[in-house]
Amino acid sequence: MPQGFFITFEGLDGSGKTTQLKRLAAWLQARGHSVVCTRQPGGTALGDRVRSLLLDSRLDAETGGVAPMAELALMFADRAQSIEQVILPALAAGKIVLCDRYTDSTEAYQSGGRGIPFATVQTMHQLICKGLQPDLTLLLLPSLQSSLARARRRNDKALHQKGADENRFEREGDAFYTRVYQAYRAIAAREPQRVAAIEDDASIEDVQQSVRSIVAERLGNK
């Protein structure tokens, strides 16, 4: 059984989760913890290829629209590789794993957003992930509009500066993201012992303090 500590960061793109993950990693390392950071999709050679495909806004035009179940299958293929190659080895070595997105994202985006039945996502999770759940999930939920505005600005900047196109999901309309947002809130309500939700438009520093306090308490209890 894994002996480390598995922490995931969740939220809409533009919620600040990636920034907070990096800051938490530095804070934990400064206190002597061994930390492994990864992301989904991505984080492995296979995962990075899946990520470049799934997030490319040109994909829908090239394919005539990606079938929701195809999108779901690709997400879990990436996750299976990440678990076997990165997450389980790190946990077995007693490390703290910080992961930018996990199955909660799939429930929010592919079930809440795309309309795939919740039971389908849960069945895939049990089969592919063997039921591996985070010890703690930090769910960042600033306002919907502020998250989307930041994500779209960031991705447009990356496209112009680096040619990296990761705008596919950000091009969805407000109705799609409202469903995703509500799905995240439902997850937090359903699993309050695992999911710690930070639901305001606080500054990066204030959110950072909240994250540190939550993590310190959970690690202390462990």
> Rounded to whole angstroms, how far apart are CA atoms 193 and 198?
14
- Structure-token match 């400064």, residue found: 30
The string of pLDDT tens digits covering residues 22-44 is 999 999 999 999 999 999 999 99
Query: Cβ(6)–Cβ(91) under 8 Å?
Result: yes
Whole-number CA gyration radius for the chain: 17
> What's the confidence (pLDDT) of residue 61?
78
The C-alpha atoms of residue 12 and residue 29 are separated, in whole angstroms, by 26
5-221 folds as: Rossmann fold (3.40.50)
pLDDT for 20 equals 97
Q: What is the pLDDT of residues 60-119, one digit of tens each?
A: 778 888 899 999 999 999 999 999 999 999 999 999 999 999 999 999 999 999 999 999
Report the run of H or E that residue 24 belongs to, with start and end: helix 17-30
Instruction: Give CA–CA dist 12/92, Å, rounded.
Output: 30
Provide the 10 A C-beta neighbour count for residue 8: 25
Domain segments of the chain: what residues?
A: 5-221
